[in-house]
């Protein structure tokens, strides 16, 4: 995906340990990363959003 020119990555990681290296690589290439609902084991992301059920 990254080599194909993706401009933004939005991900809701189900398994933190598996996706952390991928998210880090994308972020390190200067591509914005938005984590949705769950975080990875890294602080390399542009924004985080979570749904709060009230």
- pLDDT-derived band at 2, boundaries 50, 70, 90: confident
DSSP state string for the chain: -GGGT---EEE--SSHHHHHHHHHHHHHTT--EEEESS--SSS--SEEE-----
* pLDDT tens profile 19-51: 899 999 999 999 999 999 888 999 999 999 987
pLDDT for the residue 14: 87
């Amino acid at each position: 995906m990254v080599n194909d020119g993706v401009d933004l990555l939005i991900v809701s990681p189900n398994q933190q340990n598996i996706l952390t290296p991928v998210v880090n690589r994308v972020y390190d290439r200067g591509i914005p990363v938005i984590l949705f609902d769950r975080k990875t084991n890294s602080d390399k992301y542009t924004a985080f959003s979570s749904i709060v059920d009230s």
